[in-house]
Structure 1
Amino acid sequence: MSHGKIREDKTCLNCGHQVEERFCPHCGQENTERRQPFYFLFTHFIEDFTHYDGQFWGTVKNLLFKPGKLTNIYLEGKRQVFVPPVKLYIFVSFITFFVFALFPMVNFNFDGEKGHKDSEKTGVISQMQSLDTKKILDSIKAKENLTAEDSMTIKGLSALPDSAKIDDVKEILELNKTIDPDVEYGQYKTRKSYDSALAKNPSVLDAIQKPIAHKFFELKEKGVTKKEIVVNMIQKSFHNLPKALFIYLPLFAFFLWIFHSKKKWWYFDHGIFTLHYFSFLLLTVLLIFLLTKLIGLTDFWLANTILYFLVIALSVYSMAYFFIAHRRVYHAHGLVSFIIGAALFSLNLFAFTFLVVGLALISFMMIH
């Protein structure tokens, strides 16, 4: 709730109606002074954006720790207690992807021409190659009594790859190279040969395969490096992910609609459950992301162990959350609820995987 000073004049500035208390009964505008201190801009922003009067934090607390409660309360008609589902999802989505943009999940500075990363990579590999692993192991094993440190050294050296494996790693990491001219799409090295074969043997899948093949040959002819392809795909996929999720929401609600009584549950009800569930998923992903960023910032093993435990616990909880929320909202018998929940979970996992693959293909098609 705003803490702006209430006007002495009880006439609403917006519609002209009489205002008995803080808010106009006709249009809902708050009857506060037109001019406020400068700091009011910031406090007003925080209050409006997060419902700082307690509504927002109460919503988040119930969303995270009481699966299904927000949906039940909203469907009961109590719609002023917590943040509305659509506004909640939009806000959580904005915060999540804003944080992802500030702290990228993938470090794009891995090309070997300018960054210091490549020199570090080359240095590590050269050091690994220069180690005479056999001599070190023999010298340690020759000792009469092995210490705990010796045992750890043996395990570490045994895990080192041989020179052939190191060469394979170097080959994989060299993303500054272009697509090899001999690389084929199917059995074809050029767009001309591909189109010629396609004209002779048309297929029902040509509408999907042809644009992808043409894009592949286009990038190959332009000499686009592997690194540029990877970076562009990741960036464009990340940029399109919020839109893809928003499109997926009605599909998730549709799956719920299929598995439940059409008389008892309307599609609208499933939509509310979906918005709350996806808001929870985004918040959980954000928390896991922040925890993983904290891991490794300190050398204190206990702190890192606790962080790892929290990440695992949140991951397990996020999977169990759906089953708990589903049972509490739809009030199905335990076994029936679990079976329906498992079917829905599997179906949505398949559909979401299909969405991710489609998003990757769209991102690939958008590379220039």
Structure 2
Amino acid sequence: MGSRAVTASDVKIQVDKVYKIFGNRADDAMAALQAGAAKAEVLHKTGCIVGLKRIDFSIRRGETFVIMGLSGSGKSTLIRHFNRLIEPTSGRILVDGCNIMDMNAKELLAFRRTGISMVFQRFGLLPHQTVLENTICGPILQGVDQREARARGMEQLELVGLKGFENRFPRQLSGGMQQRVGLARALTTQADVLLMDEAFSALDPLIKSDMQEQLKDIQARLKKTIIFITHDLDEALHLGDRIAILKDGELRQVGTGEEILFRPADDYVERFVRKVDLSRALYTHDAFAKVPVLTQAQATGDRTTALLRQHPAVIVVHGAKLRVLTSAEPDRANCAASIDATATLGQSFPLLADQEAIVVMDSGAPVGILTREMAFKALSRSHGAANKLSPASLLPSPVA
């Protein structure tokens, strides 16, 4: 599905023409940039490094917005602008309509304590403090009393699956568990905005996958505005509602995973997405078929026979069980597994390995079926669309 138009009430954060120049001749570098000079030319003429060049986008309230790019693209520089750990050379960043560049030292401190939290790549835990003490350091700095802070901390530790570990020390935890403490610590501040700078990149693949799923589950419940930095496109597609791709400090494209994958803005983005796993970019709602849903009492022989003349299947709800009648086998209802319409197509594969058809759920109610053939056709259509982007997409080419 494509991006919908963003209204003013949707916007949580607005990044407005942000530049960042590193060096002593920032004014000369800005003048050169605005005259059309490239990053390398600016470095040669002024000795300044262009960190960011005219970054312009908005982030919706409650979305997971992923910023990605290769090393040196400017993504980590950009995320540090949202809490002013790095000051821009030019431009504005508005949070809830307030320009954080106008905040004085006291206002900025309050914003960092209550409005925005950060999860670090290397955990950043204090080794001499327990898991709970690490988790509640934010509320304590906010002036929250110990009892409430501990209650908040225990609530978040339970949310990230660490109940029972509150009295352990970081050295007694695995890397994945330490990262969960970092996430709980950020959530305990109750800030609306969560910054995550390559938060899972130091983890082993299986632990990384577990953390991604946990973050998605937490986000489904809490609806934070999350800004997530990664260089991993599969991770970006899996986590992001929208994705921004940077190269050499410039914004190349902002869009949904589907838009970036199948409608890349330029050759760089096209090369960037060429080898992506399509099953992680497509969703069940892109492939399934709506079919009639009946209760056990409604599923009489005459009625199901009539419906199967018009539809590939009929779903019969019998208590907690979901059964599927197909036109191929109208007299035999098969108990079926279910999957949410927002799940990726890849998540359906283990279920389809054991069953020809599974039930697709929307807001907890059955709405249709997904078969192996439907999944394969969706992948085939998307693979064809990706390969038709340009003849160059068929040739190996290194990412610049």
TM-score, with normalisation over the residues of structure 2? 0.22
Which structure has the larger Rg?
1
TM-score, with normalisation over the residues of structure 1? 0.23
Q: Relative to total residues, which structure has the larger helix share, 1 or 2?
A: 1
Q: Which has the higher contact order (CA 8 A, sep 6+)?
A: 1
